[in-house]
Amino acid sequence: MNNELIINVTNQETRVALLENGQVVEFHLDLARERGIAGNIYKGKVIRVLPGMQAAFVDIGMDRAAFLYVDDALPEKRRLEETEEDEDEEDNMDLSRSEEADQRSASLESMYEEATIDRTGETPIESLLQEGKILMVQVAKEPIGTKGPRITTHISLPGRHLVLMPSVDHVGISKRIENEEERKRLKDLVEAHRPRNMGFIVRTAAEGKDEKAIRADIDFLVNLWKEIKTKHDKAKAPALIHSDLNIALRAIRDLFNADVERVVIDSKQEYDHILSYFGKHMPKLSTKIELYEGSEPIFDFFGLEIEISRALGRKVWLKSGGYIVIDQAEALTAIDVNTGRFVGKRNLEDTILKTNLEAVREICYQLRLRNIGGIIIIDFIDMEKESNREKIFQALSDALKNDKAKTNILKISDLGLAEMTRKRTRENISRLLSEPCPYCEGKSYVKSRTYICSEIFRELRRELKDIKGKNVTLNVHSDIADMLFEEERAGLEEIERQFAKRISVNDRPNFHIEQFEIIAS
């Protein structure tokens, strides 16, 4: 498989795209003013215990209190066979806990509604936590929508080849390493060098690595854990104790594998950082890192801007002329399949089957690209034949095997509805790149002001190199003008210095918030 990692870095944002055979399948965005916190470790203080929900709220120094579920507060005594479901999760970009716990908390996360839960025989949270108790916690899930971050007391520190779990005394092996001899070899290596009472999960990237590489990862993670404990002991709650790597290095750590033929990045500074990281962890692969120095913006060069814009659309056209419609709510996504302009060549049932099969491929691609999670309902076009419904179900199951996120799917009903769940650990792409629309009272979305400013900066970089005069006029919506004069002023001044131009910003109240004009003056 011809895979590539494309990384675009500016002062305002870092964007990472994973390409498989030239097609973008994953997109990650990190805004400089809104850095992600998944994987960060905090010294937190319990501010409220909710026995009826078997959960607690913990102050970690953010605007919204973090949410701690009882299973994530229990002492971690999991054996290897109990954690095999978690092992594969460590190969994803975001730290996450078991799907079982994620599903059991789904109703709680929905605005944290008060509810009484029958937990006969389980340890009650009030016996574990009291208001004012100090905890070391790690963010397992980013804040999503109106929900605060979800945290856990079960700390995990990912390295390149291993994941350190300091509160667990076992060694686990990723199930993606299938060769039994290799599994035994890796487990023996880790057992021989790990400190007592510390656990490790061997990641897929460790397959084929020698003792030196495994030992280096163990030493690095153990020393990192010692530093974290020292900082925790000295800090006053609430406090940030440890930050995860930036998104570019996380992409290298978590997405770079044998299938990725090269990493292309357009920032010299970040390029040097990545080379340094490779020198420590993957020196033989440093030749796969390329610095992009073309005049055309890197995402334009690889044709990614069009795909990202397409991922914000509600309607997605299929090659046959059919289309799918994607509607996202807080906890549920509905996808509707339609024949559109496709009329087929033989009969109605054949036309419907072909449209549904084409929709399956596009739906699975969109789920991964947009990072849609939670409950997903797919309304396929009604099929009379049971055999055709079975074909669609099998095609959907096969297509989802390439998805790193855990999915569960039920049989297609007589009404043509397929119900499934997909693990969600961070905001989907539409929530990242857009905000509630002020023109329709939040019923739909427009691009966020921050992202519009980023688009303006990218367009300025494209056009200013061809403008000969020294003065340029930028006409924008009033809200965007305010943002360019305040939060994004440094970015505008950087472009002025880079191109030796003077940019005058004029507000146009009658403009749509996404509309702007660049005029040579």
Contact, 435 vs 448, CB < 8 A?
Answer: yes
Collapse the DSSP code of 350 into the 3-class scheme (helix H, G, I; strand E, B; otherwise coil) and give the result.
helix
* CATH of 3-34+246-306 among 3.20.20.70, 2.102.10.10, 3.30.420.60, 3.30.830.10: 3.30.420.60
Q: Which of 516, 21, 17 is nearest to 308 (CA)?
A: 17
Q: What is the pLDDT of residue 349?
A: 83
Q: What is the pLDDT of residue 436?
A: 72
Residue type, 10: T
How many whole angstroms separate alpha carbon 21 and alpha carbon 237?
48
How many whole angstroms separate alpha carbon 191 and alpha carbon 189?
6
Q: What is the pLDDT of residue 281?
A: 62
DSSP secondary structure letters along 419-467: EEEE---S--HHHHHEEE-TTTTTSSEEE-HHHHHHHHHHHHHHHHTT-
CATH T-level topology, domain 448-520: Hypothetical Protein Ychn; Chain: A, (3.40.1260)
Q: What is the pLDDT of residue 394?
A: 94
CATH T-level topology, domain 41-241: OB fold (Dihydrolipoamide Acetyltransferase, E2P) (2.40.50)
Give the residue extent of every domain in the chain: 3-34+246-306, 41-241, 312-429, 448-520
How many whole angstroms separate alpha carbon 152 and alpha carbon 172?
20
* Interacting residues of 53 by C-beta distance below 8 A, sequence separation 6+: 108, 112, 114, 115, 117
How many whole angstroms separate alpha carbon 209 and alpha carbon 217?
11
Q: With residue 339 as reference, give the H or E element that holds it.
A: none
How many whole angstroms separate alpha carbon 463 and alpha carbon 458?
9
Q: What is the pLDDT of residue 119?
A: 41
CA dihedral 170, 202, 164, 218 (to 10 degrees): 100
Cα 474 to the center of its chain, rounded Å: 34
Residue type, 278: F
Q: What is the pLDDT of residue 342?
A: 65
- Phi, psi angles (nearest 5°) of residue 340: 60, -125
User: How confident is the prediction along the chain (521 residues), in pLDDT tens digits per residue?
Assistant: 578 999 999 988 899 999 988 888 888 888 776 677 888 999 999 999 999 889 999 999 988 899 999 989 887 654 333 344 344 444 444 433 333 333 333 333 333 333 333 344 468 888 899 999 999 999 998 887 678 899 999 999 988 889 999 988 889 998 878 889 999 999 999 999 999 889 999 988 888 888 888 998 899 899 899 999 999 999 999 999 998 788 888 888 777 766 788 999 999 999 998 888 777 666 777 788 999 999 999 999 999 988 888 888 889 999 888 899 999 877 799 999 998 876 656 678 888 899 999 999 999 999 988 889 889 999 999 888 889 999 999 999 999 987 878 889 999 888 889 999 998 756 778 777 887 777 665 666 788 999 999 999 999 999 998 898 899 999 999 999 999 999 999 999 999 999 999 999 999 999 988 899 999 87
Q: What is the pLDDT of residue 324?
A: 94
Supply the pTM of this predicted model. 0.65
Residue type, 81: E
Same fold for the domain at 3-34+246-306 and the one at 448-520?
Answer: no
Other CB atoms within 10 A of residue 454 CB: 21
CA atoms within 13 A on the CB side of 224: 20
